[in-house]
Amino acid sequence: MKKKTVKPDESGAASSSQSMQQFILDEWQRDVPEAVKMAAHTIGALYGSATAGVLFYGSCLRTGEIEEKILDFYVLVDSYQAAYEKGWLATANQILPPNVFYHEMVVDGVVVRSKYAVLSLQDLSFRVSSACLNVSIWARFCQPCLLLNARDETIQQQVAGNIAEAVNTMLSNLLALKPWATEPRDLWVAAFEETYAAELRSERGGKGLEIYLLDQDRYHAVTPVALEELRAKGVLVAASPPQTQPARTENFNAKVYWFLRRLNGKTVSFLRLIKASMTFDGGIDYLAWKIRRHAGVEIEVKDWMRRHPVFAGIVLFWNLRRKGAFK
């Protein structure tokens, strides 16, 4: 695979804001199983010329395992109007991105299952930035991902810059709350715990440490690059751990923002679950499988739930909240 290099600015030198971008481009110089490439190509082709590229992420990227797993993709499109024939899907994606769908295909006798979301390039750019209150996109893509089937080098560079921004947003938001947490383990574990708390999650406690340990070497490598950029931007200042219990007013603004992120995140997560029940084939069954896998809560999916997925999604949500499946 040809190595991509960040283009210099007008002065002839790469700007300081480009070193994270180059880190991401270098990180993308890896191979994936042929079945993943075929799934990404097939799913991307569903949106024709509107598709700019497909981001692959999640546990299957980390492990390389495919059988009995579900691949995770984001299809990046120029616009929702260009991507969809049905106007209501474009509107739903615009109002509450992303739309989530299910896909499966057979590759060499193996059923390859995928869950994929559709997101516009404009929404990606906004939702990885510090201006976005909702955590879901910048918290997801500060973790390892891989761009497949980029339309051209311009898209490759643009999306790499977006992913670099997701890393910086994650760390800058955490450092505003805990400015002394600059060691990679402390930084990333705390960041993941805060963002997981800002969504409806079925996973048990301690997920932040688990995510960090799965890619420990990567987080150790990316941290100094990101912190150097944040220093250059004036976001990172020297700080020491408090020797006594911090005052309640300390980092007050950051605490308020994280409270608002939790409020926003849980509300948006609930609305996305309801919307996904209309777009995700077998959505109720998938939800039951995911909750059983991550939280150990058994759910009996009845026929009426499949016939009325929106109503079933609301009923399930409240029942599962009482059982502790969501946090």
Confidence check: pLDDT of 15 > 50: no
pLDDT at residue 206 in the model: 78
- The pLDDT confidence band at residue 105, using thresholds 50, 70 and 90, is very high
Distance CA 289, CA 284 (A): 9
pLDDT at residue 276 in the model: 77
Confidence check: pLDDT of 3 > 60: no
pLDDT at residue 14 in the model: 37
Q: Tokens 């991902």 — which residue? A: 145
- The pLDDT confidence band at residue 321, using thresholds 50, 70 and 90, is low
Q: Tokens 């009845």 — which residue? A: 302
Q: Tokens 């290099």 — which residue? A: 5
How many C-beta neighbours within 10 Å does residue 292 have? 14
Distance CA 166, CA 249 (A): 28
- The pLDDT confidence band at residue 307, using thresholds 50, 70 and 90, is low
User: What's the whole-number mean pLDDT along residues 1-26?
Assistant: 60
Q: Is 30 left (phi over 0), alpha (psi -120 to 50) or beta?
A: beta
Distance CA 141, CA 154 (A): 19
Structure tokens at 288: 């039951």
Distance CA 151, CA 53 (A): 6
Higher pLDDT, 120 or 299: 120
Which residue from 158, 117, 114, 112 is spatially nearest to 140, judged by alpha carbons? 117
With pLDDT > 90 as the criterion, what percentage of the chain qualifies?
Answer: 60
pLDDT at residue 63 in the model: 85
The backbone torsions φ and ψ at residue 135, rounded to the nearest 5 degrees and listed phi first, read -85, -15
Region of poorest pLDDT, from 94-103, 107-116, 180-189, 247-256:
247-256
pTM for this predicted structure? 0.82
Structure tokens at 184: 């990679």
Alpha-helical (H) ranges within 119-215 are 121-127, 136-141, 153-177, 184-196, 207-214
Q: Residue 49 carries which DSSP code?
A: G
With pLDDT > 70 as the criterion, what percentage of the chain qualifies?
Answer: 75
Region of poorest pLDDT, from 73-87, 158-172, 207-221, 265-279:
265-279
